[in-house]
Chains A and B, each alone.
Chain A
Amino acid sequence: MSVDTAVTEPKQSAMMAALASFWFEFRQNKGALYGLIFVSILAIVAIFADFIAPYSPIEQYREVLKLPPVWAEGGSWAHIFGTDALGRDQLSRMIHGSRYSFYIGFIVIFFCLTIGIVLGLIAAFNKGFIENVIMRLMDIILAFPSLLMALALVAILGPSLENAMIAIAVVFIPHFVRLTRAQALSELGKDYVSSSKTMGASTMRLMFINVLPNCMAPLIVQATMSFSSAILDAAALGFLGMGAQPPSPEWGTMLADSRQYILSDPWLMGIPGLAILFTVLSINLIGDGLRDALDPKMKTSKA
C-alpha cells in the first residue's frame, strides 16, 4: 500500500501542477474569465430553474397578454420580463430555456467527440482503404452546407429537438474526424509511439492510451466552439420550426413565436436573442482562453 501511494503521489502533484499552470494561463485572458463567469451563472440558473423561476414556463395568464417588461411603460414587477402573446411569463421561460442550451451543447459534443475520435483514430491507424472510405464519407457531409443538411435531416427524422440535435451532430462530426486524424498522424511519427510499438503495445493501447491524450488539446478547443455552434444551429432550426416544438421554452423557438410582433412588441424577440448572443459569446470566449492556455503557440489575444 505504501508503494502505491508513493507512486501515485508524484503523479497527482504533477496533475495539480499542470492544472495550476493551465489555470494561470487561462486567467490571463480576461474575456475568457468573464465568459466562464457568465456560463457558470447560467449553469446555476439552469440547474435550479424550478426554484428560481417565479412562474411555470408554460402556464398562460390570460389577463396579461404581451405585458411589457418592468423597465418599459406599463410594465409590472409581477412579470419582470413581461409576458408573451399567450400570457406566459417571459422570465420563467427564459430561465427554463437556459436548460435547453446546455442540454443541446452537451449532447451534441458528446456525440461529436466519441464518434469523431473513434473514426479519426481508425483513419489514422489504417492507412489506405479504410482511411479513404472514412475521409471520403466526411467529404460528402462537408459538401452540403451544414444548416441545409441539418434541415434536410430533420425533415426526414421529423421535427423535434432531439432530431435537431442528431442532425447537428452529424454535420459537425466531420470536423472532429479530420482534426483527430491530423493530430494522430502527426503524433504517429514520434519516438514514443514507435518505442511503445516495439514494446508490444496493442493497437487499441496505442490509439487510446498513447496517442489520444496528446491529441486532446485542439479537440477540447474544437468541442467548446462546437458547443456554441450547436446552440446557434439548434436555435436556428427552432426558429425555422424544425427544432424544439412549442410550448417548450427553447430560446430559438421563442424567437420564432415572437417574430410576428417584432415591430409592435420588440422586447419579445429582444430578450431571447440577447440571451443566445451572450451565451454563445461567453462560450466562444472560453474557447479562445482554452486555446491560449492549452496551446501557447496559437495565442490569439497576445502573441
Chain B
Amino acid sequence: MFSFLLRRLLVLIPTYIGITLTAFAFIHVIPGDPILIMAGERGLPEEKYLELMHAYGFDQPIWKQYLDYVGQILQGDFGRSFVTNRPVLDEFIELFPATVELTIFALFFAVLIGIPAGIIAAVKRGSVFDHSLMTISLAGFSMPIFWWALLLIVFFSGFLGWTPVSGRISAMFFFDTPTGFMLIDSLMSDEEGAFTSALSHLILPAIALGTIPMATFARQSRSAMLETLSEDYIKTARAKGLSPFRVVVVHGFRNALIPVITVIGLSVGTLLGGAILTESIFSWPGIGKWMVDSIFRRDYPVVQSGLILIATIVILVNLSVDILYGIIDPRIRKKGH
C-alpha cells in the first residue's frame, strides 16, 4: 500500500510543475503588456505603471519571475487580485465553501436518482422503463446546461414563482457565516426563515449542475450492473434461492460499485473545479463564477493562481479516488495503474 501511494505521489511532481508552468505562461502569452491590459482603457500614470511593473515582478527576467512565483506559492502566497487588491488565497478560501455546498447537493441529487434508476433499468433490461430511462439519460447527457438552467428559472422562478432566481440567500438576512456553508450557518443563526431561504436558493442550481452527472451515473450503473448480473456468482446466489432484492443489491450492486465510484470520483473533481456555467447563470458566489468574472475583468493574477488552486483540488480529489480503489480492490494496487 505504501509503495502504491508513493508511486502515485511521484508521478504527480512533474505534472504539478507543468501545471504551475501552464498557469504562469497564461499571463505571459497574452499579447500586449499585462499591466496595461489589466489597467484597461483608463490607462495609468507613468510612476504607477513602473511601480506595478516592479510589484508584479514583470521587470525581472522571465525565468526569475517563474522561480519567484513558485517560491511564493510554496510559502502559501498566491499573489493579490489586481481588482480588489486582496490576497487570491483569501478570496479562494472565502468562495470555496459555496462551491462545495453546491457540489454536494448536485451529487446528492445525481446519486439518489441516477444510481437506483440505472439498477432498475439493468434488472428490467429491455423493458419500456429501461428504454425510456436510457433515452432520458442520454437527453440529460446532451443537454446544453446553460439552457437547461434558464428553463428551470423560467418554469420554477418565473412561472410558478417558487424559487429565487439568483444568489445564495435572500438579502434580508444578516448573520455570521463561520462555516461558509449557508445551510449550516442559517440553521445556527436565530433568523427566522433563513434556512428555508438558503435551501430554496440552492435547489435549482443543484438540479442544473446535477443533471449531467445524474445521466452519467444512470448509464454507468446500468452497464456495470448488467455486467455483474451475468456473472456466475449471481447465478449461484439465485440458485441458492436468495430473494431477488438480495441478489441484486447485496451480491450484484456491491460488485458493480467500482466503476460507479470511478465516475462519481471523477465528477467530484470536475464539479469542484468550478461549475462555470451554473454558477454564472445563478450568480452563485463560488469559484466557478469567480474565475469567469476574473477572466472577463482581466484580473490575471487571480486567473493564474486560481487555475493552480483549482487544478490542485482536482488532482487531490482524483488521487483520493485512486487510493480508495487501492483499498477496495487490492488487484489495482499491484498493477500500479
Contacts and interface: CB of A to CB of B under 8 A. Distances in A.
Interface of A: 31, 132, 136-137, 139-140, 143-145, 147-148, 151-152, 155-156, 228, 232, 235-236, 239-240, 252, 255, 259, 262-263, 266, 269, 272-273, 276-277, 280-281, 283-285, 288, 300-303
A143 B126 CA distance: 38
A155 B141 CA distance: 27
B144 A236 contact: yes
Contacts, number: 123
Nearest to A158: B31
Most buried by A among B226, B269, B273: B273
A281 B138 CA distance: 7
Given A262-B153, A277-B144, 16 more contacts: A136-B11, A136-B14, A139-B18, A148-B274, A148-B307, A156-B26, A235-B144, A236-B146, A239-B144, A240-B280, A272-B147, A273-B147, A281-B138, A300-B134, A300-B223, A302-B125
Nearest to B298: A155
A47 B279 CA distance: 37
Interface in B110-150: 125-126, 134-135, 138-139, 141-147, 150
A105 to B, nearest CB: 13
Contacts of A155: 30, 295, 303
Interface of B: 11, 14-15, 18-19, 22, 26, 29-30, 125-126, 134-135, 138-139, 141-147, 150-151, 153-154, 158, 219, 223, 226-227, 230, 269-270, 273-274, 276-277, 280, 288, 291-292, 295, 303, 307, 310-311, 314-315
Nearest to B15: A139
29 contacts: A136-B18, A140-B22, A143-B311, A143-B315, A144-B273, A144-B307, A145-B270, A148-B288, A151-B295, A152-B26, A152-B303, A155-B303, A232-B142, A236-B146, A240-B276, A240-B277, A240-B280, A255-B144, A255-B146, A262-B154, A262-B158, A273-B144, A277-B142, A280-B144, A283-B142, A284-B141, A301-B134, A302-B125, A302-B126
Which are the 9 A-B pairs with shortest beta-carbon distances? A145-B273, A273-B147, A140-B18, A280-B142, A281-B142, A143-B311, A263-B158, A276-B144, A139-B15
Contacts of A300: 134, 219, 223
- Counting chain B CB atoms within 10 Å of each CB, the highest count among A144, A272, A281, A285 belongs to A144
Contacts of A266: 154
Contacts of A285: 138
Contacts of B270: 145
Interface of A is mostly: helix
Given A235-B144, A262-B150, A273-B144, A147 B277 contact: yes
B138 A240 contact: no
Contacts of B291: 148, 151
Nearest to A270: B151
B99 to A, nearest CB: 11
A235 B314 CA distance: 25
Contacts of B29: 156
Nearest to A283: B142
Contact of A269 (B14, B126, B147, B273): B147
A236 B18 contact: no
Contacts of B11: 136
Nearest to A235: B144
Residue among A148, A255, A284 having the largest count of chain B Cβ atoms under 10 Å: A148
Nearest to A266: B154
B276 A148 contact: yes
A262 B157 CA distance: 11
A145 B306 CA distance: 12
Contacts of B150: 255, 259, 262, 269, 273
A31 B270 CA distance: 29
A266 B153 CA distance: 11
Contacts of B143: 277, 280
A240 B296 CA distance: 10
Nearest to A258: B150
B276 A255 contact: no
A288 B125 CA distance: 17
Contacts of A232: 142, 144
A124 B175 CA distance: 58
Contacts of A269: 147, 150
B292 A236 contact: no
Contact of A143 (B19, B151, B274, B276): B19
Contact of B307 (A152, A272, A281): A152
B15 A148 contact: no
A262 B155 CA distance: 10
Contact of B292 (A139, A144, A240): A240
